[in-house]
Structure 1
Amino acid sequence: MFEFFTDRGKQAVAASQDEAIALGHDFIGTEHLLLGLLAAESGTAARALHGQNVDLERARQETVRVLEAAGISALGGQPARDALSSLGIDVTEIQRQADTSFGPGAFQFPRPAYTPEARTALTNTLNEARALGRDTFGTEHILLGLLTVPEGHALKVLASFRVDPTTLRRTVLAQATPEAP
């Protein structure tokens, strides 16, 4: 599916993983996809979000607040590290050796997995793009996909900015032109 994303779409999805890791989360949720869209500043989604006064730094803060309110802590993958350590596997040493051999940051552990809500949003990205007659998926389609997942935390983050999902959807649809690859 990733091959059907535009370059900006790929950038946003990759940035969502970076955002999750930077926040110490060992999962990628809809909230991280939202952050990834904001990080892909030149995309249609970022422009629509900025038009609603949603900015990346405050969205990061709101993501942390929303997740903490839901009882989700940033563990930085510590449970997985502890489990491997109990088997005699030193993840820190593996990371050091990978950094030495392949460059800093080449090895990230654990690799965050997508939550069911994020997977639903990405599946809905495909549906949104196809409904608009597109063969590739840009940031606008990812945002439209996010807006279809009411149980995801992205909508709670947007609510903290007083963003109405219906209005945002209309805005995105009005701006939805194919993004350059």
Structure 2
Amino acid sequence: MLAAEESRHMGHNYVGTEQILVAVVREEASVASKVLQSLGFSFRDLRSEVEKMTGYGAGYVAVEIPHTPLAKQAISAAKAAARQLGHNYIDTKHLLLGLIDNSENTACKVLTNLGIDSSQIRDLAMQIPDEDPALAIERSKTIDFLEFRSNIDARMKKVEEILAILQRKLGIIHDDLSADNSP
């Protein structure tokens, strides 16, 4: 939810890894925020760097904002990190670890621009105590729901494309039949 808010703030019509990064650091008490604070960076520093790198969108933002493929990949990596740590929930630590899993995503590029190395983040994240599992579990449910809804949206778009093709083809068939029945 916070990542979508960050996306709206910037006028983007997608949720990318950079919005997820800013969102996990936005909560000052989160592990992700503590990691970046210990490296000397604040939420504002991070948001400023993201704004500098990505700029602002056109301003129109749909009600439902889809996740980019790299954002979905980062969420999957966060789930894997949680499982690896023996957790049945995803918190900001896992999301941060998922974000740094792929150095090609925008979140990693933002961190690199700030002079932050992925190994520093990984080491610090493992040293800071985990978040309250009850809050993290609630957040995990939201993440799973958003991923599920994003998958449904993609499937619906595909169905709409197929329906449009069928509609065009039926129109052609109808025109052909009408021409054949003409005196």
Identical residues among aligned pairs (%): 25
State the 1:51 CA deviation: 0.8
- For CA contacts below 8 A with separation 6 or more, give which structure has more relative contact order: 1
Structure 1 gaps of 5+ residues are 1-13, 78-107
Pairing 1:93-172 to 2, within 5 Å after superposition: 109-172=62-125
Judged with a 3 Å threshold, the aligned counterparts in structure 2 of structure 1 residues 177 and 58 are, in CA distance, closer, same or farther, namely: closer
Pairing of 1:21-100 with structure 2 (within 5 A):
21-68=8-55, 74-77=57-60
- Counterpart residue type for residue 22 of structure 1: H
C-alpha distance in 2 between matches for 1:143 and 1:74 = 25
Give runs of ≥4 in structure 1 deviating > 4 Å.
none
1:166 maps to amino acid: S
Q: CA deviation at 1:135?
A: 0.6
1:137 to partner: Cα distance: 1.0
Which ranges of structure 2 fall in alignment gaps of 5 or more residues? Answer: 135-183
TM score, norm. by length of structure 1: 0.69
- Name the Cα RMSD after superposition: 1.6
Larger Rg: 2
Aligned residues: 134
Question: Comparing both structures, which one devotes a greater share of its residues to helix?
Answer: 2
The one-letter code matched in structure 2 to 1:137 is I
What code does the residue aligned with 2:42 have?
D
The two structures have a TM-score, normalised by structure 2, of 0.68
